[in-house]
Amino acid sequence: MVARNCHIEKFHASYLFPEIGRRRDAFLKQRPNAQLISLGVGDTTQPLPTAASEAVIKFAQALATGDGYQGYGPEQGALALRQGIAERLYSCDIDPSEIFVSDGAKCDIGRLQHLFGPSATVALQDPAYPVYVDTSVLMGRTESYNVSTQGYGGLTYLPCTAENGFFPDLDAADKTDVIFFCSPNNPTGAVATREQLEKLVAFAKSNSSIIVFDAAYAPFIQDETLPRSIFEIEGAREVAIEVNSFSKLAGFTGVRLGWTVVPKELAFNDGSKVIDDWRRLSCTLFNGASNLAQAAGIGLLTNQGMQEVETLVNGYMENARILREAVTSCGLKVYGGKHAPYLWVAFPGRGSWNVFQQLMDEAELITTPGVGFGPAGEGFVRLSALGNRRDVETAAQRLVRVLKTPSFQPA
Ligand code: PLP
């Protein structure tokens, strides 16, 4: 028999959503008529923009003709799509040759682990999108919860708490090779300011680190002065890679399309260019995103498509406002939800799983326990605003009803 990959045994974070599913199934077994509403998983719910769907239909029909058929495309993605991304989605200069189209940000985060290899040390925000941890663990890194033990196991958590405004204390953080950083953040909904990102870039520069900046939620930023890309920060081109996605931008979670920007300036310590290795790796581990998904992306990056994106994003942000108002009206502290479709609700002194269970039992709501995103998430639950309006309104009414009861109220 073949030995099991010892690194898979060490997965922690991936147990979050299966455990939520297990508890939901157990609940429904006892109460089969319950009207559960999920504010849990961050999946999108609203229809695909017609500019995208119409483009796919046209492209698919052409594929069935002799003249329109296309086989393997360029691994880096269609030039028209890369040009569209550079022009429509960035306010700073990004050359299309620095954009690598992918089948989603998650897949590229996994492939980036291969770029850095098993010996690189990694730091990440705590709490964080679980994929940074899982893919690091798969590379053989192990978790170390304490900043003072940095380097031990190769994986360092940088606590992001209400006290530090959900931005890590970089003065207390030691050098690591790679820093995963997500803004607007999943799960806290916090968005980093320009000054904070300048600090992060300066920190990476002084430690010769590379930042992997996850901007999957950039379209939700409502304030024009807040940076939507790490490359809006001076000097970032020498220290950062950006992963990004059409998933939350336009409901492409099922279509599957994303991209990664690797600037030409970015180099390893031997002077070799990161972009060259990434190109090589992309050709090895990936044969390019589906041309149908790319056609959808090209259709989306038109005037009509961008208008539809605005409507989509505004709808989700209105959901976030409704949920925020419901929670704050009960006297509870809520973070996020202003520049991100996630709200991070504090239940001081209580366990996240405990709150999760009570909200399911008493309000028939599914949330996500904060501790599932990392130890600093204990005492919080995440609410997703990516649902249908009617569900969100009903969920808000239920929240108001239960959160006012003494067991949810701060001591
Ligand atoms: N990055 C973050 C922070 C996410 O929350 C998600 C999905 O929830 C992703 C990346 C995944 O994006 P994609 O659907 O493009 O793989």
Residue 104 CA, closest ligand 1 atom number: 15
Structure confidence at residue 154 (pLDDT) = 84
What pLDDT shows up at residue 12? Answer: 61
Residue ranges around ligand 1 (CB below 6 Å): 42, 104-106, 129, 182, 186, 214, 216, 245, 247, 253, 258
| Ligand 1 atom 1, closest CA | 216
Please give the helix or strand (H or E) that residue 85 lies within, else none.
helix 79-89
CB 295 within 8 A of CB 51: no
Instruction: Tell me the one-letter amino acid at 274.
Output: V
Residue written as token pair 């170390």 = 144
Is residue 101 a contact partner of residue 259, using CB atoms and an 8 Å limit?
A: yes
Candidates 183, 186, 220, 373: which one to mutate for ligand 1, based on the most atoms within 8 Å of Cβ? 186
Give dist(CA 35, CA 264) in Å, integer: 52
How would you write the pLDDT of the chain (411 residues) with one tens digit per residue?
A: 998 888 887 776 567 888 999 999 999 999 999 999 999 888 999 999 999 999 999 999 999 999 999 999 999 999 999 999 999 999 999 999 999 999 999 999 999 999 999 889 999 999 999 999 999 988 888 765 444 544 447 889 999 999 999 999 999 888 999 999 999 999 999 999 999 999 999 999 999 999 999 999 999 999 999 999 999 999 999 999 999 999 999 999 999 999 999 999 999 999 999 999 999 999 999 999 999 999 999 999 999 999 999 999 999 999 999 999 999 999 999 999 999 999 999 999 999 999 999 999 999 999 999 999 999 999 999 999 999 999 999 999 999 999 999 888 877
Q: Are 258 and 102 in contact (CB under 8 A)?
A: yes
Helix locations, 247-346, DSSP H: 247-250, 274-285, 291-300, 303-328
Residue 183: phi and psi, rounded to 5, are: -150, 130
- The Cα–Cα gap between 176 and 199 comes to 16
Q: Are 187 and 377 in contact (CB under 8 A)?
A: yes
| Structural domains of the chain ordered from first start | 8-48+304-405 (3.90.1150.10), 50-302 (3.40.640.10)
Helix (H) or strand (E) holding 343: strand 342-346
Q: Cα(68)–Cα(59) distance, rounded to whole angstroms? A: 8
**Which ranges constitute the DSSP H helices of 90-120?**
105-116
Distances in whole angstroms, Cα of residue 267 to Cα of each of 237, 262, 271: 10, 10, 6
Kindly report the protein residue whose alpha carbon is nearest to atom 12 of ligand 1. 105
Helix, strand, coil percent content, the chain, rounded in steps of 5: 45, 15, 40
Instruction: Report the alpha-carbon distance of residue 313 to residue 317 in Å, rounded.
Output: 6
Model pTM above 0.75: yes
Centroid of ligand 1 to alpha carbon of 44 (angstroms): 11
User: Ligand 1 centroid vs 105 CA: distance in angstroms?
Assistant: 6
CA 43 to ligand 1 center in whole angstroms: 9
